[in-house]
A and B are shown apart, each in its own frame.
Chain A
Amino acid sequence: MMKTAYFPGCSLHSTAKEYDASWRLTSRKLGIELQEIPRWICCGAASAQVTSHLLSVSLPCRNLALVEEMGLDTVITPCAACFNRLKVANQEVAENLQLKKDVEEVLGKPYGGKVTIKHPLEVIVKDIGLEEVRKMARRKLQGLKIASYYGCLLVRPPKVTSFDDPEDPQSMDNLVTALGGEALPWAFKTECCGASFSLSDTDIVFELSGEILNGALEAEAECIIVACPLCQSNLDLRQKGIEKRYGKKLNLPILYFTELLGLTLDMNVRELGLSKHMVSPAKILEKVGFEI
Protein backbone atom coordinates (compact mmCIF):
# COMPACT_ATOMS: atom_id res chain seq x y z
CA MET A 1 0.00 0.00 0.00
CA MET A 2 1.39 3.37 -1.05
CA LYS A 3 0.67 5.99 1.65
CA THR A 4 0.44 9.65 0.60
CA ALA A 5 -1.06 12.90 1.80
CA TYR A 6 -4.17 14.09 -0.03
CA PHE A 7 -5.00 17.69 -0.90
CA PRO A 8 -8.53 17.78 -2.38
CA GLY A 9 -8.72 21.57 -2.70
CA CYS A 10 -11.90 23.67 -2.59
CA SER A 11 -13.49 22.42 -5.84
CA LEU A 12 -13.38 18.76 -4.84
CA HIS A 13 -15.21 19.64 -1.64
CA SER A 14 -17.90 21.59 -3.51
CA THR A 15 -18.59 21.62 -7.27
CA ALA A 16 -16.50 18.52 -8.07
CA LYS A 17 -17.56 16.07 -5.37
CA GLU A 18 -17.81 13.32 -7.99
CA TYR A 19 -14.11 13.81 -8.84
CA ASP A 20 -13.24 13.53 -5.14
CA ALA A 21 -15.43 10.44 -4.65
CA SER A 22 -14.22 8.66 -7.77
CA TRP A 23 -10.56 9.35 -6.99
CA ARG A 24 -10.89 8.20 -3.36
CA LEU A 25 -12.60 4.97 -4.49
CA THR A 26 -10.27 4.17 -7.39
CA SER A 27 -7.10 5.06 -5.49
CA ARG A 28 -8.02 2.59 -2.72
CA LYS A 29 -8.54 -0.10 -5.32
CA LEU A 30 -5.18 0.76 -6.89
CA GLY A 31 -3.42 0.33 -3.54
CA ILE A 32 -2.99 3.97 -2.56
CA GLU A 33 -3.82 5.08 0.97
CA LEU A 34 -4.81 8.75 0.92
CA GLN A 35 -4.52 10.76 4.12
CA GLU A 36 -6.34 14.07 3.76
CA ILE A 37 -4.25 16.94 5.10
CA PRO A 38 -5.84 18.06 8.37
CA ARG A 39 -6.77 21.77 8.42
CA TRP A 40 -5.85 22.34 4.74
CA ILE A 41 -6.76 25.70 3.25
CA CYS A 42 -7.37 27.11 -0.24
CA CYS A 43 -4.22 27.06 -2.41
CA GLY A 44 -5.00 30.55 -3.68
CA ALA A 45 -5.41 29.35 -7.28
CA ALA A 46 -5.79 32.32 -9.64
CA SER A 47 -7.13 34.89 -7.18
CA ALA A 48 -4.09 35.07 -4.88
CA GLN A 49 -1.77 35.61 -7.85
CA VAL A 50 -3.51 38.83 -8.79
CA THR A 51 -3.46 40.00 -5.15
CA SER A 52 0.08 39.37 -3.99
CA HIS A 53 2.92 37.17 -5.20
CA LEU A 54 3.99 36.38 -1.64
CA LEU A 55 0.45 35.36 -0.71
CA SER A 56 0.16 33.16 -3.83
CA VAL A 57 3.29 31.28 -2.70
CA SER A 58 2.51 31.26 1.04
CA LEU A 59 -0.92 29.62 0.72
CA PRO A 60 0.35 26.49 -1.13
CA CYS A 61 3.43 26.32 1.12
CA ARG A 62 1.24 26.40 4.22
CA ASN A 63 -0.46 23.20 2.96
CA LEU A 64 2.86 21.60 2.03
CA ALA A 65 4.22 22.45 5.50
CA LEU A 66 1.27 20.52 6.96
CA VAL A 67 2.27 17.51 4.84
CA GLU A 68 5.77 17.75 6.33
CA GLU A 69 4.17 17.75 9.80
CA MET A 70 2.28 14.57 8.86
CA GLY A 71 5.65 12.92 8.25
CA LEU A 72 4.79 12.15 4.61
CA ASP A 73 6.93 12.95 1.59
CA THR A 74 4.31 12.97 -1.18
CA VAL A 75 0.99 14.74 -1.69
CA ILE A 76 -1.53 13.91 -4.40
CA THR A 77 -3.88 16.59 -5.65
CA PRO A 78 -6.43 15.92 -8.42
CA CYS A 79 -7.29 19.55 -9.24
CA ALA A 80 -5.07 20.78 -12.07
CA ALA A 81 -5.10 24.33 -10.67
CA CYS A 82 -4.07 23.18 -7.17
CA PHE A 83 -1.46 20.84 -8.68
CA ASN A 84 -0.03 23.72 -10.69
CA ARG A 85 -0.01 26.16 -7.76
CA LEU A 86 1.59 23.71 -5.30
CA LYS A 87 4.29 22.77 -7.82
CA VAL A 88 5.04 26.35 -8.88
CA ALA A 89 5.19 27.64 -5.28
CA ASN A 90 7.43 24.80 -4.15
CA GLN A 91 9.81 25.41 -7.05
CA GLU A 92 9.91 29.19 -6.58
CA VAL A 93 10.79 28.79 -2.90
CA ALA A 94 13.50 26.25 -3.75
CA GLU A 95 15.10 28.71 -6.19
CA ASN A 96 14.78 31.91 -4.16
CA LEU A 97 16.25 32.07 -0.65
CA GLN A 98 14.71 35.47 0.18
CA LEU A 99 11.28 34.25 -0.87
CA LYS A 100 11.74 31.17 1.33
CA LYS A 101 12.58 33.41 4.30
CA ASP A 102 9.51 35.59 3.64
CA VAL A 103 7.25 32.54 3.36
CA GLU A 104 8.62 31.14 6.61
CA GLU A 105 7.94 34.46 8.31
CA VAL A 106 4.36 34.47 7.02
CA LEU A 107 3.82 30.85 8.08
CA GLY A 108 5.58 31.37 11.41
CA LYS A 109 7.51 28.13 11.00
CA PRO A 110 10.31 26.63 8.92
CA TYR A 111 9.50 25.24 5.51
CA GLY A 112 11.53 22.27 4.27
CA GLY A 113 10.31 22.17 0.68
CA LYS A 114 10.92 18.44 0.45
CA VAL A 115 7.40 17.27 -0.40
CA THR A 116 6.80 15.78 -3.87
CA ILE A 117 3.57 16.95 -5.48
CA LYS A 118 1.80 14.54 -7.82
CA HIS A 119 -1.34 14.46 -9.92
CA PRO A 120 -3.34 11.19 -9.92
CA LEU A 121 -2.62 10.75 -13.65
CA GLU A 122 1.10 10.84 -12.96
CA VAL A 123 0.71 8.27 -10.18
CA ILE A 124 -1.36 5.94 -12.36
CA VAL A 125 0.88 6.14 -15.42
CA LYS A 126 4.31 6.36 -13.78
CA ASP A 127 4.08 4.77 -10.32
CA ILE A 128 1.47 2.04 -10.80
CA GLY A 129 1.91 1.53 -14.54
CA LEU A 130 -0.67 1.13 -17.28
CA GLU A 131 -0.03 -2.58 -17.67
CA GLU A 132 -0.95 -3.12 -14.02
CA VAL A 133 -4.07 -0.96 -14.40
CA ARG A 134 -5.03 -2.87 -17.56
CA LYS A 135 -4.78 -6.15 -15.64
CA MET A 136 -6.91 -4.80 -12.79
CA ALA A 137 -9.68 -3.55 -15.10
CA ARG A 138 -12.42 -6.17 -14.91
CA ARG A 139 -14.54 -4.43 -17.54
CA LYS A 140 -13.51 -2.62 -20.71
CA LEU A 141 -14.66 0.54 -22.45
CA GLN A 142 -15.34 -1.42 -25.67
CA GLY A 143 -14.02 1.10 -28.14
CA LEU A 144 -15.84 4.12 -26.67
CA LYS A 145 -14.56 7.14 -28.62
CA ILE A 146 -12.96 9.50 -26.13
CA ALA A 147 -11.32 12.91 -26.48
CA SER A 148 -8.86 13.44 -23.61
CA TYR A 149 -8.78 17.07 -22.56
CA TYR A 150 -5.82 18.11 -20.38
CA GLY A 151 -6.47 21.85 -20.20
CA CYS A 152 -3.80 24.47 -19.76
CA LEU A 153 -2.68 23.97 -16.15
CA LEU A 154 -1.86 20.28 -15.90
CA VAL A 155 1.09 20.09 -18.28
CA ARG A 156 2.36 23.67 -18.29
CA PRO A 157 4.86 25.09 -17.56
CA PRO A 158 6.69 21.84 -18.49
CA LYS A 159 9.77 22.82 -16.44
CA VAL A 160 7.58 22.69 -13.33
CA THR A 161 4.81 20.17 -14.00
CA SER A 162 7.23 17.81 -15.80
CA PHE A 163 5.22 14.67 -16.32
CA ASP A 164 3.81 14.86 -19.83
CA ASP A 165 4.33 16.54 -23.20
CA PRO A 166 3.09 20.18 -22.93
CA GLU A 167 1.88 20.32 -26.56
CA ASP A 168 0.63 16.81 -27.18
CA PRO A 169 0.21 15.06 -23.80
CA GLN A 170 -0.42 11.33 -23.87
CA SER A 171 -0.95 10.04 -20.32
CA MET A 172 -4.76 10.19 -20.34
CA ASP A 173 -4.92 8.87 -23.92
CA ASN A 174 -2.70 5.92 -22.96
CA LEU A 175 -4.96 5.22 -19.99
CA VAL A 176 -8.01 5.24 -22.28
CA THR A 177 -6.30 2.74 -24.61
CA ALA A 178 -5.32 0.52 -21.66
CA LEU A 179 -8.95 0.48 -20.53
CA GLY A 180 -10.23 -0.55 -23.95
CA GLY A 181 -11.44 2.84 -25.23
CA GLU A 182 -10.48 4.60 -28.45
CA ALA A 183 -8.25 7.60 -27.70
CA LEU A 184 -8.96 10.16 -30.40
CA PRO A 185 -6.30 12.47 -31.81
CA TRP A 186 -7.60 16.06 -31.75
CA ALA A 187 -6.26 19.60 -31.74
CA PHE A 188 -7.70 21.04 -28.52
CA LYS A 189 -6.05 18.87 -25.84
CA THR A 190 -4.29 21.73 -24.08
CA GLU A 191 -6.34 24.76 -25.10
CA CYS A 192 -7.66 26.95 -22.28
CA CYS A 193 -11.38 26.61 -21.43
CA GLY A 194 -11.45 30.13 -19.94
CA ALA A 195 -11.79 28.98 -16.33
CA SER A 196 -10.51 32.25 -14.81
CA PHE A 197 -13.30 34.12 -16.61
CA SER A 198 -16.03 31.74 -15.55
CA LEU A 199 -17.78 34.39 -13.45
CA SER A 200 -16.32 37.68 -14.65
CA ASP A 201 -16.63 37.31 -18.43
CA THR A 202 -18.71 34.32 -19.49
CA ASP A 203 -18.63 35.42 -23.16
CA ILE A 204 -14.96 34.39 -23.24
CA VAL A 205 -15.85 31.05 -21.63
CA PHE A 206 -18.57 30.43 -24.21
CA GLU A 207 -16.13 31.13 -27.02
CA LEU A 208 -13.17 29.10 -25.71
CA SER A 209 -15.17 26.18 -24.33
CA GLY A 210 -17.37 26.21 -27.45
CA GLU A 211 -14.30 25.72 -29.64
CA ILE A 212 -13.16 22.78 -27.48
CA LEU A 213 -16.58 21.10 -27.60
CA ASN A 214 -16.83 21.61 -31.37
CA GLY A 215 -13.30 20.27 -31.82
CA ALA A 216 -14.19 17.10 -29.91
CA LEU A 217 -17.36 16.60 -31.96
CA GLU A 218 -15.42 17.08 -35.21
CA ALA A 219 -13.04 14.35 -34.00
CA GLU A 220 -16.21 12.20 -33.56
CA ALA A 221 -15.86 11.94 -29.79
CA GLU A 222 -18.69 10.36 -27.83
CA CYS A 223 -17.47 12.04 -24.65
CA ILE A 224 -14.63 14.18 -23.29
CA ILE A 225 -12.62 13.14 -20.25
CA VAL A 226 -10.95 15.73 -18.05
CA ALA A 227 -8.53 15.91 -15.13
CA CYS A 228 -9.51 19.34 -13.80
CA PRO A 229 -12.67 20.43 -11.95
CA LEU A 230 -12.60 23.89 -13.54
CA CYS A 231 -12.51 22.44 -17.07
CA GLN A 232 -15.27 19.99 -16.20
CA SER A 233 -17.49 22.70 -14.82
CA ASN A 234 -17.03 24.99 -17.84
CA LEU A 235 -17.55 22.30 -20.47
CA ASP A 236 -20.45 20.60 -18.70
CA LEU A 237 -22.26 23.35 -16.83
CA ARG A 238 -21.95 25.94 -19.62
CA GLN A 239 -22.78 23.52 -22.42
CA LYS A 240 -26.46 24.48 -22.60
CA GLY A 241 -25.48 28.15 -22.86
CA ILE A 242 -22.95 27.35 -25.59
CA GLU A 243 -25.58 25.37 -27.50
CA LYS A 244 -27.94 28.36 -27.34
CA ARG A 245 -25.29 30.78 -28.47
CA TYR A 246 -24.19 28.72 -31.47
CA GLY A 247 -27.64 27.33 -32.24
CA LYS A 248 -26.20 23.85 -32.31
CA LYS A 249 -26.94 20.73 -30.28
CA LEU A 250 -23.76 19.40 -28.67
CA ASN A 251 -24.92 16.92 -26.00
CA LEU A 252 -21.38 15.80 -25.21
CA PRO A 253 -20.86 14.23 -21.74
CA ILE A 254 -17.85 15.54 -19.81
CA LEU A 255 -16.48 12.95 -17.41
CA TYR A 256 -13.59 12.79 -14.99
CA PHE A 257 -11.02 10.19 -16.06
CA THR A 258 -11.33 8.71 -12.55
CA GLU A 259 -15.02 7.97 -13.17
CA LEU A 260 -14.27 5.92 -16.29
CA LEU A 261 -11.42 4.20 -14.48
CA GLY A 262 -13.81 3.39 -11.62
CA LEU A 263 -16.33 1.87 -14.06
CA THR A 264 -13.69 -0.46 -15.49
CA LEU A 265 -12.67 -1.42 -11.95
CA ASP A 266 -16.30 -2.48 -11.52
CA MET A 267 -17.31 0.14 -9.01
CA ASN A 268 -20.76 1.38 -8.17
CA VAL A 269 -21.96 3.94 -10.73
CA ARG A 270 -23.79 6.05 -8.13
CA GLU A 271 -20.84 6.11 -5.75
CA LEU A 272 -18.63 7.30 -8.61
CA GLY A 273 -20.97 10.28 -9.09
CA LEU A 274 -21.79 9.61 -12.74
CA SER A 275 -25.41 10.66 -12.25
CA LYS A 276 -24.41 14.15 -11.10
CA HIS A 277 -23.37 15.63 -14.44
CA MET A 278 -25.45 18.22 -16.30
CA VAL A 279 -25.04 16.37 -19.63
CA SER A 280 -26.00 12.80 -18.83
CA PRO A 281 -23.52 10.12 -19.89
CA ALA A 282 -26.22 7.41 -19.56
CA LYS A 283 -26.71 6.80 -23.31
CA ILE A 284 -23.06 6.51 -24.25
CA LEU A 285 -22.26 4.33 -21.26
CA GLU A 286 -25.23 2.04 -21.89
CA LYS A 287 -23.88 1.55 -25.40
CA VAL A 288 -20.72 0.03 -23.97
CA GLY A 289 -22.47 -2.03 -21.32
CA PHE A 290 -22.66 0.21 -18.23
CA GLU A 291 -25.97 1.11 -16.64
CA ILE A 292 -26.61 4.37 -14.82
Chain B
Amino acid sequence: MLKKGKIKLIPEKTDPAKEVRNLMRRVETLESQ
Protein backbone atom coordinates (compact mmCIF):
# COMPACT_ATOMS: atom_id res chain seq x y z
CA MET B 1 0.00 0.00 0.00
CA LEU B 2 1.31 3.45 -0.89
CA LYS B 3 2.07 5.81 1.95
CA LYS B 4 0.15 9.03 1.92
CA GLY B 5 2.19 11.92 0.57
CA LYS B 6 4.83 9.73 -1.10
CA ILE B 7 3.50 9.97 -4.64
CA LYS B 8 2.20 13.14 -6.16
CA LEU B 9 -0.66 12.73 -8.55
CA ILE B 10 0.06 14.71 -11.69
CA PRO B 11 -3.18 16.00 -13.20
CA GLU B 12 -3.62 15.11 -16.83
CA LYS B 13 -2.61 18.13 -18.84
CA THR B 14 -2.71 18.68 -22.54
CA ASP B 15 -0.28 20.91 -24.31
CA PRO B 16 -2.25 23.12 -26.73
CA ALA B 17 0.79 23.66 -28.96
CA LYS B 18 1.32 19.89 -29.18
CA GLU B 19 -2.33 19.45 -30.10
CA VAL B 20 -2.01 22.05 -32.90
CA ARG B 21 1.16 20.31 -34.18
CA ASN B 22 -0.69 16.99 -34.20
CA LEU B 23 -3.46 18.49 -36.29
CA MET B 24 -0.91 20.07 -38.63
CA ARG B 25 0.73 16.67 -39.15
CA ARG B 26 -2.63 15.06 -39.88
CA VAL B 27 -3.45 17.82 -42.40
CA GLU B 28 -0.05 17.41 -44.08
CA THR B 29 -0.56 13.64 -44.32
CA LEU B 30 -4.02 14.00 -45.79
CA GLU B 31 -2.93 16.69 -48.25
CA SER B 32 0.04 14.64 -49.44
CA GLN B 33 -2.16 11.68 -50.38
Q: Which A residues fall within an 8 A CB radius of B?
A: 39-42, 51-52, 54-55, 58-59, 62, 102, 105-108
Interface 1/0 per residue, B1-33 and A, CB below 8 Å: 000000000000010100110011011101100
A105 to B24, Cβ gap below 8 A?
Answer: no
A105 contacts B20, C-beta separation under 8 Å: no
Q: Compute how far the CA of A42 lies from the CA of B24 in the bound complex, rounded to whole angstroms.
A: 12
Choose among B19, B26, B28, B30 the residue that contacts A39 (Cβ–Cβ < 8 A): B19
Give Cα distance in the complex from A286 to B5, angstroms: 53
User: Total A-B residue pairs with C-beta atoms closer than 8 Å?
Assistant: 37
B16, A40: Cβ atoms closer than 8 Å: yes
Q: Are A41 and B20 in contact, with the CB atoms below 8 A?
A: yes
Nearest CB in chain B to that of A38: its residue? B14
Could you tell me if A54 and B30 are in contact, using CB atoms closer than 8 angstroms? yes
A105 nearest CB neighbor, chain B only: B30
Residues B20 and A59 in contact, CB atoms below 8 Å apart: yes
Of the residues A40, A42, A51, A106, contact of B30 by C-beta under 8 Å: A106
Binding site for A on B (CB under 8 A): 14, 16, 19-20, 23-24, 26-28, 30-31
State the CA gap A102–B28 with chains docked (Å): 12
A residues near B28, Cβ cutoff 8 Å: 52
Check if B24 sits within 8 Å of A55, measured CB to CB: yes
- Judging by beta carbons under 8 Å apart, are A39 and B14 in contact? yes
Q: Nearest B residue to A61 by beta-carbon distance? A: B23
Complex CA gap A153/B2 in Å reads 55
CB of A62 within 8 A of CB of B23, answer: yes
Q: How far is the CA of A52 from the CA of B14 in the complex (A)?
A: 24
**Neighbour of B16 across the interface among A41, A51, A102, CB < 8 A:** A41
In the assembled complex, how far is the CB of residue A54 from the closest CB belonging to chain B, in whole angstroms? 5
Residue contact B27 to A42, C-beta cutoff 8 Å? no
Please indicate the chain A residues that have their CB under 8 angstroms from the CB of B27 in the complex: 52, 54-55, 58, 106
- Complex CA distance for A80 and B3, rounded to whole angstroms: 51
Contact status A105-B26, CB under 8 Å: yes
